[in-house]
Amino acid sequence: MGTHQKIDRVARRRLQRYIPSGIHFPKAKEIVNFEGLNGPDGIKKKSPARDEPWHYIDPTDPNDRQILDLIQGHENNLIAALTENNRERAAFEAAWLAHAITDGLTPAHHYPYEEKLEELRGEDLTTRTSLAKKVIMPGKNMREKLVNNWEYWKPNGLLTAHGFFEFGVATIAAPRRFPDVMLTRHDRQKVRKSGGIVPLYPRSVSKIYKMGLYDEFLRTSWTTKLARRVKNRLMPEIIHTVLLSWYYCAWRAGQDLRNQG
């Protein structure tokens, strides 16, 4: 719905002043080319249940590292692509890195969606091998199928709640430029010292989780107060985290180039 593209464009604009000499970080239009059908969400349509990146995280479980490993891999690959001046690969890695960071910080992705979906389906998610199987809940008989699909599709059901929350975030973010998002000297030193965004990421996840935005949405739906918190707190935190990760990759690639020289 355009939220990822919005975040990419704002973060890329803020990154410009921090790109080291000799590093050709891809432009925003190159990065957003790997969103939509060419991004992680596109895989869900092209090859359901196969190679889908799972961008959910349990903020209460310190051992839930699946998305952290994905982010680490994309950072490593982006650094390598920037060092080799492989612009297409760099654009791909920058987009997928930002997508994973954004999804993991999105409140709807802190909800135990996979667990609830498996409970509703009565089977694991590997059986969702087509679009039809992804959107139509199974059941042992017609009555059970109707009940399961109602729970999935009803107002505030498992799928509709997730979708309406993300649609609301997209609507809030679309017209704004987020001019206050920037990197301080302390930010830059911190991410360089940490060796990338991964050691800092759980703190951002916890910070957003404690806001209780998705729980509030499930109770009240969209309100002016909730929209204001998304605009002023959630979106800046997400954009800042993407910017911080991209900055580290550009800086590290610059260091690697100098060492090679």
Distance CA 261, CA 241 (A): 31
Tokens of 38: 């060419």
* Range with the largest mean pLDDT of 64-68, 140-144, 256-260: 64-68
Helix-, strand-, coil-residue percentages of the chain, each rounded to 5? 70, 0, 30
Kindly tell me if the per-residue pLDDT of 6 is higher than 80. Answer: yes
Q: Summarize pLDDT for 152-174 with one digit per residue, the tens.
A: 777 777 778 888 999 999 999 99
Question: Looking at residue 183, what is its pLDDT?
Answer: 96
Alpha carbon distance, N-terminus to C-terminus of the chain: 43
Chain centroid offset of residue 25 CA? 20
When pLDDT is averaged across residues 85-100 and rounded to a whole number, the result is 97
On whether the CB atoms of residues 167 and 211 are closer than 8 A, the answer is no
Q: By C-alpha distance, which of 123, 117, 124, 126 is closest to 56? A: 117
Structural domain harbouring 109:
3-260
Kindly tell me if the per-residue pLDDT of 46 is higher than 50. Answer: no
The CATH number for 217's domain is: 1.10.575
| 233 compared with 113, residue with greater pLDDT | 233
Contacts of 211-216 spanning 24+ positions with Cβ under 8 A: 211/107, 213/107, 214/107, 214/108, 214/110, 214/111, 214/165
The number of beta carbons lying within 10 Å of the beta carbon of residue 149 is: 18
Q: How many domains does the chain have?
A: 1
Kindly tell me if the per-residue pLDDT of 119 is higher than 60. Answer: yes
- Residue 75 one-letter amino acid: E
Strand, coil or helix: 212: coil
**0.95 exceeded by pTM:** no
Go through 111-133 and write b for each residue having 16 or more CB atoms within 10 A of its CB, e for each that does not: bebeeebeebbeeeeeebeeeee
Tokens of 209: 């989780």
Question: Looking at residue 120, what is its pLDDT?
Answer: 76
| 84 compared with 260, residue with greater pLDDT | 84
With pLDDT > 70 as the criterion, what percentage of the chain qualifies?
A: 90
Tokens of 220: 């009240």
Tokens of 105: 């910080």
Residues in the chain: 261
Kindly tell me if the per-residue pLDDT of 47 is higher than 50. Answer: no
On whether the CB atoms of residues 233 and 178 are closer than 8 A, the answer is no
Question: Looking at residue 49, what is its pLDDT?
Answer: 46
- When computed from its CA atoms, the radius of gyration of the chain, rounded to whole angstroms, is 19
Distance CA 159, CA 190 (A): 38
